[in-house]
Amino acid sequence: MKTKTPNTRRGLLAGGNWIIDQVKLIDIYPQPEQLGNILGQSQGTGGGPYNVLIDLARSGARFPLQGAGLVGNDALGDQILADCRQHKIDTRHLGRTSKAPTSYTDVMTEKASGRRTFFHARGANALWHGEGLDFKKSKARIFHLAYLLLLDALDEPDAKFGTKAARLLAVAQAAGFKTSVDVVSEDSDRFAKVVGPALKHVDYCILNEIEAGKTTGFKVRQPDGQLDTVALRHAAGALLQQGVGELVIVHFPEGAFARTRKGEDVWQSSLKLPPKYIAGSAGAGDAFCAGVLLGLHEEWELQRCLLTGVCLAAASLSHPTCTAGVRSLASSLALAKKYGFGPPVLSGD
């Protein structure tokens, strides 16, 4: 069902999880039946499409941004729609329901250690299976779906395509889109069953190293925690063998790696940020994804795409919420000149 994307298409349509993060700064995480004090509270964006679209808007992307998914008929749903309007994100494909509340996550952050504990309510996201999403009514170039494994209705089996998500991606490709997916990190054995079928209908697969390893069965971290670059290459190759059409990109704290179907390998180190700079890691993966998708949409060289990704991720790390740290593209890229890069990922090469 793959077709070549016409060059006249322009824009990013992102669908999947729409979440409000309610970040609470606490003095200590209490034991059962004990008390912990909330010292401060802030709200932020959450979920792949929401984070990616806001990051692109804040970066000054010069192409149309469109959101797809489902939120509740409640105050949090109102907040998401208002936020999208403020950032000029088209919400015609972002539906509302009275059957479930808008999804939210309570993030408990310990002040001293920075350790975070998450309490997630799947809410309306669990019901979304792409209803009302008419790809023929969008002229966007890329359809980005996130997160597989956290979209209950789309993760369900499909007799023909394997999963409902795989069917949705196939329909998008048939309508002329380039397709992109991201996956949520979870400790389970569902990766091959849920993620695998979708790969046959994906042009760009963007994962972190843990997700890539769990999907393919490779251990990309050595027992001492070091990145196994050989296993990482094998994992990327296996994802291509499982059906990814053009490109696999794997990001990790040390940087990023890309492998194309043509056999090109590209490595990029992350920025060398001082510890005091990092206010929170939530959203860094989506910020990286936004930077890469920006470059892919604009048909930049792959090295430039990865560089943009690590710079947006670095910007995201400056704030405890997922997207508030991202500024203009120029300011994100300037972080590379200010802080430089960490050691080469392939230090032995």
β-bridge pairing 38-46 and 103-110: unpaired
- Tell me the residue type at 266: V
Question: What CATH number is attached to the domain comprising 118?
Answer: 3.40.1190.20
Q: What local confidence, expressed as pLDDT, does residue 348 receive?
A: 40
Q: What local confidence, expressed as pLDDT, does residue 274 receive?
A: 93
165 in a structural domain: no
46 in a structural domain: yes
267 in a structural domain: no
78 in a structural domain: yes
CA angle 65, 125, 189 (to 5 degrees): 110
Left, alpha or beta for 11 (phi > 0: left; psi -120 to 50: alpha)?
left
Query: Is the CB of residue 329 less than 8 Å from the CB of residue 212?
Result: no
Q: Which value, in Å, is the radius of gyration of the alpha carbons in the chain?
A: 19
111 in a structural domain: yes
Distances (CA, A) of 127 to 18, 102, 146, 273: 12, 11, 14, 40
72 in a structural domain: yes
Q: How many domains does the chain have?
A: 1
198: Cβ contacts below 8 Å, ≥ 6 apart: 145, 148, 162, 163, 165, 166, 169, 181
Q: At what angle do helices 302-316 and 284-297 cross, to 10 degrees?
A: 150
Query: Is the CB of residue 232 less than 8 Å from the CB of residue 215?
Result: no
Q: What local confidence, expressed as pLDDT, does residue 17 receive?
A: 97
85 in a structural domain: yes
Spans of the chain below 70 pLDDT? 1-7, 347-349
Domain of 76 in residue numbering reads as 13-54+62-128
Q: What local confidence, expressed as pLDDT, does residue 349 receive?
A: 39
151 in a structural domain: no
Q: Can you give the pTM of this predicted structure?
A: 0.93
